[in-house]
């Protein structure tokens, strides 16, 4: 019972903590309340779990909001702020975050080509930056059960559009397993298990420190 040697984490064709980044866009009260493609409590659980996983594997995270500074919208839902509140947010007025200078500069500054992208709504704030990122040579991965649209039809049509353009559709658990890859990498195992339970006392700062040391 022996695992293969760890592949080159930068050039691996699969997602690794060293070759990917996590993008999260517009999980704000108005957007969350308008979701009709899945039960809202399920969506909240799934995106919070996905954000916890990103922190656990110490992924670079770009968190964007829309219209908070203008007063037209509210900050991200509290459940996400509890996980990502230690990170900066990039507020914008554009529907397409890729058309916001600070957001795009932040993504490019990371220097990673694999973008795990989540957003509300699937049909707009996910689709538009995903298509633009693909056009610029990035690989886009969409955890389909952590994003949502204003209807099931809108959500599914948007996923088809980005997939036809070259995006990879995945599930949140597939993302966790792809980043973990081997249970012998025990530094991130507690955080992996924590994403399945909201009451686990997950601490994002400690998890990030733990993953970095591992």
Q: Which residues are catalytic?
A: 125
CA 188 to chain centre: 18
CA dihedral 202, 204, 118, 141 (to 10 degrees): -100
Is the Cβ–Cβ distance between 134 and 40 less than 8 Å? no
**Phi and psi for 119 in degrees, rounded to 5?**
-165, 160
User: Encoding tokens for residue 12?
Assistant: 């691996």
> In the block, which residue shows the tokens 């980044």?
21
């Amino acid at each position: 019972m022996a695992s293969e040697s760890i592949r080159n984490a930068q050039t691996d064709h699969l997602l690794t903590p060293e070759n990917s980044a996590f993008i999260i866009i517009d999980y704000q009260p108005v957007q969350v309340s308008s979701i009709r493609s899945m039960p809202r409590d399920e969506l909240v659980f799934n995106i919070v779990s996905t954000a916890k996983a990103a922190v656990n594997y110490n992924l670079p995270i770009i968190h964007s909001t829309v219209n908070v500074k203008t007063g037209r919208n509210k900050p991200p839902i509290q459940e996400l702020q509890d996980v990502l509140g230690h990170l900066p947010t990039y507020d914008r007025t554009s529907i397409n975050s890729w058309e916001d200078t600070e957001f795009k500069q932040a993504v490019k500054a990371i220097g990673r080509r694999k973008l795990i992208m989540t957003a509300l709504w699937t049909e707009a704030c996910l689709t538009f930056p995903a298509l633009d990122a693909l056009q610029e040579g990035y690989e886009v991965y969409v955890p389909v059960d952590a994003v949502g649209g204003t209807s099931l039809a809108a959500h599914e049509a948007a996923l088809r559009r980005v997939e036809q353009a070259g995006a990879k559709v995945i599930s949140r658990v597939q993302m966790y397993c792809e980043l973990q890859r081997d249970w012998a990498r025990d530094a991130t195992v507690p955080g992996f298990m924590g994403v399945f339970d909201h009451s686990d006392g997950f601490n994002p700062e400690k998890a990030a420190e733990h993953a970095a040391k591992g």
